[in-house]
Structure 1
């Protein structure tokens, strides 16, 4: 399933990011996305059904997918050259709980669905986009200040 979100006011942000190196710009985006998405992950953790507690502990914000997820993602976004991607959800990398997160979320023939990721997203998406905007500007300003400081230091050395 794909979700499309239209946001406004990011053109100025993109122009400001163009003033940074590619790696610095990606780092800004990565840090801002992680900070903005963390409350959504926390909300999903609190909504996860508790049997052993492993599922809730496995919900993370990260850049990595497991092998199967990565293959599906590559097929879905083959032509999309996104600069930075961040994922929120159960991770198999963080214990056994994440391996079965999709079964809990969507259910099986023997088990009713107990969604926790989608309700967390639905409840937090607008606030997350606001946080993302704020975090992007804050991270961008910090990165620009660091770059200016480095340039001044290099100029002083001569």
Structure 2
């Protein structure tokens, strides 16, 4: 795949203050990732809940297993199921399945066959997402420049 025009986008983002540029990137990426999360939620078995959400942070356990670069100048968004009280921490068990499980006394308690949801959703949308990201970034940059110009003209 060949992508063009991103060098110009990078230059336009560099003209904005760092906080504004990060906001532009987050808004554009969030809008482009919405179809991935919606498709993964549609694949979720037996529930109408929005299990998969777009977020900017990983939990401690997820961070250790992730090879994603981090830092102040890096903007990352993730699609996944948040854990904790308000999340669905069992989503990865359904997504990837489990092996046979046994109790200490040897009683077999079952296994779960994998039901992939995120990978098919990503595969369905990645091409259009990457193609649309450039246009969405330009749109967000223009909106931000217009807002900043209006603010500056007011005084």
TM-score normalised by the chain length of structure 1: 0.80
The alpha carbon displacement at 1:11 in A equals 0.6
Match of 2:92 among 102, 123, 144: 102
* Alpha-carbon separation, structure 2, partners of 1:17 and 1:142: 12
The alpha carbon displacement at 1:130 in A equals 2.5
1:15 aligns to 2:8 (yes or no)? no
Aligned to 2:44: 48
Aligned to 1:69: 62
Aligned to 2:30: 34
The alpha carbon displacement at 1:89 in A equals 1.3
* Alpha-carbon separation, structure 2, partners of 1:62 and 1:77: 14
The alpha carbon displacement at 1:71 in A equals 3.1
Aligned length: 144
The alpha carbon displacement at 1:6 in A equals 6.3
Structure 2 contact 94–114 (Cα < 8 Å) conserved: yes
Aligned to 1:138: 139
Unaligned ranges ≥5, structure 1: none
* Alpha-carbon separation, structure 2, partners of 1:135 and 1:102: 31
Runs of 4+ in structure 1 deviating by more than 6 angstroms, as ranges, are: none
TM-score normalised by the chain length of structure 2: 0.82
Secondary structure (helix, strand or coil) at the match of 1:114 reads: coil
* Alpha-carbon separation, structure 2, partners of 1:88 and 1:57: 12
For the aligned residues, what is the CA RMSD?
2.2
Q: Which has the higher helix share?
A: 1
Unaligned ranges ≥5, structure 2: 100-110
Aligned to 2:75: 84
* Alpha-carbon separation, structure 1, partners of 2:85 and 2:56: 14
1:48-73 deviations in whole A, cap 9, x for unaligned?
222xx27x522101112222112333
